[in-house]
Chains A and B, each alone.
Chain A
């Protein structure tokens, strides 16, 4: 059996799954130290299901902890960057488009050195070992041990980054080194930004992963544990210690994947209604559709694979104002159990409307009996319209699409939505996020420029697919389960030789009993 955990801003959810069956689930408030919230929810889950810790074969966890550290500029390590690319790139040094406070929070030391590659693999200039060692010595003398290394066109050829890492390690023995080609794709500034953010989370990652481990061991769970990343695939805990930045945006991804699992649908629109906001995303072949524009995290521009999510201010705790009628975006949030009318409070919320309309039954019904029927009806219609507009904005074809409702706030929605061909409210929808973590797969990606004059298109595609498959297998996937889920070709204009950038993503199920 495996356990899925979602550490959210308000609640920490956990589910116990036996194969494809949900055995039980529990919710508990998220705690400041994170680990005691996890301990609490797991204890509740094990009590309720009477499962023995020894029967747990794997634990999968989704967390927003690292995203929040960058957004709040908390617990970040001082970090330096070595960029390999001179004489190119000096017009735009590292940190060029960073928020000043974030840069200040991590020191922002950088060194530009010679090297890097052209698009076709020719060297821009020779790598100079002495120059790199000199930069490393300066970084050591600044007392910094978190180092990012970037190099021009390292996605085409990573050799110089790898070699530079060895040189830096020889000068700073315990250095935490992040290499840009292991983290990002083409686009030097964005890839380098990701490597720097990863490096500045290095020490926090070790601490947090250790505290997760301690929480599990404290409950006698000795199973391997994994953390989910932004594209809906899993990383081993050891991997997260090295690549914490890859957990960014895993939350919406998990809820969409959980929705796909619970409903059995692979192509649908998912509406996740929480306490304060709703997220709408699109499932394509069982995976979240990705955003195409550069996403900023904590003010830093990145080019990660991120789910394309539309958020709007509707949740189970949203305020309802009556004159004129307005729903949200203010919300009573986690205070709903004291502030909503049905719980004895004085705030009219969307949950009160749902209870008054007979769509939900919790709290004290008599406290909303006085509400005007026309008001209740108008409020419901407004809420549904908010969801309908968002669904329409996200869907890719005219006509109806299947819509899956998940999250605690789905009690607000009636039996029909305009634009939805089918409306699904799967069982266990309120813990879809933790389920998404529990069922996450492992993935591998290749992103490279091929010259289609030098190698036929079929062969180039096959080579990319084979490499992506190899990467998935290295992550521990069951060979039979590996499939290619995404192939993208982008012709590179102006380049001769029919240069084409090919991106291939493969995923597979993790080998757990």
Chain B
């Protein structure tokens, strides 16, 4: 028997998920409200560790895909996640008794909680990224040969789709088109995996980590201690820059919000600049022209006083922020992992160097 998640736990998870979202992943506000509503109506959700899941038991990831700006306008009806789940189960032909999050960063940390509450199924304490990424194939399960197929999608009207593709990159291509036709938001169920596969392929403990980050921020604020330091302590993160936002440029490239933010150093970093390039998520940080942090390590900006994580959409002139870089999961730091989510995949001509090699002493 795992432990039960209550409303306070959900609040903490949503806040921590925004830190893991590295500027992207969608604002967790809507997801948080839906999870809280579901828990109020159906009761708390059981969170189990991967060790509690039998080797042959099936689990499925539930998520929303689409444009974060549309999600805050056309909110779900509530039945979409159930339909996506049921389709996966019927195409798989096996009972699926566990739910998990594919993306611990941003809104998809809380979307699976809504379904877990409704169906009274346990949620596994893991995810497929340990952060947020923009594309469907960018999950650690891909690295271990786990297929996104059968991939199901559902909208609020009752439409659904089941996709089967030769690899997970193709899934991204087809699913994106359907999501747009569904009104730029859809619920998806995918990456069905057994307990045995989850032990090997997933990023473990990330729901608890998000919750712990959120709780730490909340408690540090209440105690009036340094919130940024507290976040670093729970994430093994490094403070890579303290600065003020002086310029932001945004443009749309191939359907993604790309851009860069320029920070002017303050305090110990006075006299230096930091350029953060983002594509939904923060990907590269350059200090005075020299790369100091790259994807897949997590680059997050938090407000200097409150520790509030700032999304790339919310970046604004004059913000005073601390930039934290947190080590990514070892799965991503393999040759295979770097090929899927390394700086070169996103079009940056630089190699990945782990943050602790640059900043660790």
Give chain A's interface residues, CB within 8 Å of chain B: 85-92, 96-97, 116, 118-119, 122, 124-125, 152-153, 186-189, 282, 289, 292-293, 393-398, 452, 489-496, 498-501
How distant is B105 from chain A, measured CB to nearest CB, in Å? Answer: 15
Cα-based distance from A494 to B250 in the complex (angstroms): 14
Residues of A within 8 A of B257 (CB): 491-493
| B33-70 contact mask (Cβ, 8 Å, vs A): 1 or 0 | 11001000000000000000000000000000111111
Contact A119 B78 (CB under 8 A): no
B246 interface hit (Cβ, 8 Å): yes
Most chain A CB inside 10 Å of its own CB: which residue of B69, B134, B270, B280: B69
How distant is B234 from chain A, measured CB to nearest CB, in Å? Answer: 24
Among B96-104, B225-233, B314-322, B337-345, the stretch that binds chain A is: B314-322
Contact B157 A496 (CB under 8 A): no
For window 262-279 of B, CB contacts with A under 8 Å fall at 264, 266, 270
Residues of A within 8 A of B264 (CB): 397-398
Contact B33 A89 (CB under 8 A): no
With A91-B37, A92-B37, A398-B264 as known contacts, state yes or no: A85 contacts B74, CB within 8 Å: yes
Give 8 A-B contacts (CB < 8 Å), ordered by A residue: A87-B77, A88-B74, A89-B156, A91-B76, A153-B73, A393-B320, A492-B67, A495-B67
Among B12-20, B86-94, B138-146, B176-184, the stretch that binds chain A is: B176-184
With A119-B70, A119-B184 as known contacts, state yes or no: A91 contacts B314, CB within 8 Å: no
| B318-334 contact mask (Cβ, 8 Å, vs A): 1 or 0 | 10100000000000000
Cα-based distance from A73 to B257 in the complex (angstroms): 41
Contact A494 B246 (CB under 8 A): no
Cα-based distance from A277 to B312 in the complex (angstroms): 33
Minimal Cβ-Cβ distance residue in B for A393: B320
In order of increasing CB-CB distance, the 4 nearest A-B pairs are A491-B252, A91-B78, A493-B257, A396-B318
With A398-B264, A493-B280, A500-B252 as known contacts, state yes or no: A152 contacts B318, CB within 8 Å: no
* Contacts A92-B30, A97-B33, A153-B73 supplied; 20 other A-B pairs, CB < 8 Å: A85-B74, A88-B76, A89-B75, A90-B77, A91-B37, A91-B76, A92-B33, A116-B74, A118-B183, A119-B70, A124-B156, A124-B183, A186-B69, A396-B246, A398-B264, A489-B250, A491-B250, A492-B70, A496-B255, A498-B252
Residues of A within 8 A of B72 (CB): 186-189
Cα-based distance from A169 to B78 in the complex (angstroms): 31
Question: Looking at chain A's contact residues, is the secondary structure mostly helix, strand, loop, or mixed?
Answer: loop
Most chain B CB inside 10 Å of its own CB: which residue of A97, A116, A153, A495: A495
Residues of B within 8 A of A91 (CB): 34, 37, 75-78, 114
Residues of A within 8 A of B256 (CB): 493-494
Minimal Cβ-Cβ distance residue in B for A96: B33
With A96-B37, A492-B67 as known contacts, state yes or no: A119 contacts B255, CB within 8 Å: no
Minimal Cβ-Cβ distance residue in A for B258: A491
How distant is A84 from chain B, measured CB to nearest CB, in Å? Answer: 12
Residues of A within 8 A of B75 (CB): 85, 88-89, 91-92, 188-189
Residues of A within 8 A of B77 (CB): 86-91
Residues of A within 8 A of B255 (CB): 493-496
Residues of A within 8 A of B76 (CB): 88-89, 91-92
How distant is A476 from chain B, measured CB to nearest CB, in Å? Answer: 32
With A186-B73, A293-B314, A396-B246 as known contacts, state yes or no: A88 contacts B67, CB within 8 Å: no
Residues of B within 8 A of A88 (CB): 74-77, 156, 183
Cα-based distance from A97 to B40 in the complex (angstroms): 13
Q: Which of B73, B134, B157 contacts A87 (CB 8 A)?
A: B157
B286 interface hit (Cβ, 8 Å): no
Cα-based distance from A356 to B30 in the complex (angstroms): 55
Q: Which of A86, A188, A490, A499 contacts B250 (CB 8 A)?
A: A490
Most chain A CB inside 10 Å of its own CB: which residue of B75, B176, B179: B75
Cα-based distance from A494 to B114 in the complex (angstroms): 24
How distant is B325 from chain A, measured CB to nearest CB, in Å? Answer: 23
Minimal Cβ-Cβ distance residue in A for B73: A188
Residues of A within 8 A of B180 (CB): 494-496
Cα-based distance from A122 to B176 in the complex (angstroms): 18
Cα-based distance from A393 to B321 in the complex (angstroms): 11
How distant is A162 from chain B, measured CB to nearest CB, in Å? Answer: 18
Chain B interface category by residue count? 35 or more
For window 156-208 of B, CB contacts with A under 8 Å fall at 156-158, 176, 179-180, 183-184
Most chain B CB inside 10 Å of its own CB: which residue of A85, A118, A289, A393: A118
Contact A491 B176 (CB under 8 A): no
Give chain B's interface residues, CB within 8 Å of chain A: 30, 33-34, 37, 65-70, 72-79, 114, 134, 156-158, 176, 179-180, 183-184, 244, 246, 250-252, 255-257, 264, 266, 270, 280, 308, 313-314, 316-318, 320
How distant is A345 from chain B, measured CB to nearest CB, in Å? Answer: 32
Cα-based distance from A187 to B313 in the complex (angstroms): 14
Residues of B within 8 A of A90 (CB): 77-78
Contact B158 A87 (CB under 8 A): yes
Minimal Cβ-Cβ distance residue in A for B67: A494
Minimal Cβ-Cβ distance residue in A for B177: A496
Residues of B within 8 A of A452 (CB): 252
Cα-based distance from A119 to B185 in the complex (angstroms): 10
Residues of B within 8 A of A92 (CB): 30, 33-34, 37, 75-76
How distant is A512 from chain B, measured CB to nearest CB, in Å? Answer: 34
Contact B252 A119 (CB under 8 A): no
How distant is A122 from chain B, measured CB to nearest CB, in Å? Answer: 8
Cα-based distance from A499 to B67 in the complex (angstroms): 11
Cα-based distance from A2 to B318 in the complex (angstroms): 36
With A92-B75, A188-B75, A491-B251 as known contacts, state yes or no: A87 contacts B246, CB within 8 Å: no
Minimal Cβ-Cβ distance residue in A for B76: A91
Cα-based distance from A20 to B318 in the complex (angstroms): 32
Residues of A within 8 A of B74 (CB): 85, 88-89, 116, 118-119, 124, 152-153, 188
Residues of B within 8 A of A282 (CB): 318
How distant is B119 from chain A, measured CB to nearest CB, in Å? Answer: 15
Cα-based distance from A14 to B91 in the complex (angstroms): 73
Contact A398 B244 (CB under 8 A): yes
Minimal Cβ-Cβ distance residue in A for B316: A292
How distant is A114 from chain B, measured CB to nearest CB, in Å? Answer: 11
How distant is A287 from chain B, measured CB to nearest CB, in Å? Answer: 14
Cα-based distance from A189 to B257 in the complex (angstroms): 24
Residues of B within 8 A of A188 (CB): 72-75
Minimal Cβ-Cβ distance residue in A for B306: A293
Q: Which of B157, B250, B313, B317 contacts A125 (CB 8 A)?
A: B157
Residues of B within 8 A of A96 (CB): 33, 37
Cα-based distance from A86 to B34 in the complex (angstroms): 16
Residues of B within 8 A of A116 (CB): 74
Residues of B within 8 A of A152 (CB): 73-74
Residues of A within 8 A of B156 (CB): 87-89, 124
Contact A124 B318 (CB under 8 A): no
Residues of A within 8 A of B30 (CB): 92, 189
Most chain B CB inside 10 Å of its own CB: which residue of A85, A292, A494: A494
How distant is B246 from chain A, measured CB to nearest CB, in Å? Answer: 6
Cα-based distance from A188 to B73 in the complex (angstroms): 5
Most chain A CB inside 10 Å of its own CB: which residue of B30, B156, B157, B264: B156
Cα-based distance from A86 to B252 in the complex (angstroms): 31
Minimal Cβ-Cβ distance residue in B for A449: B69
Minimal Cβ-Cβ distance residue in B for A397: B246
Residues of A within 8 A of B317 (CB): 396
Cα-based distance from A501 to B68 in the complex (angstroms): 13
Minimal Cβ-Cβ distance residue in B for A289: B318
Contact B73 A119 (CB under 8 A): yes
Cα-based distance from A377 to B243 in the complex (angstroms): 33
Residues of A within 8 A of B114 (CB): 91
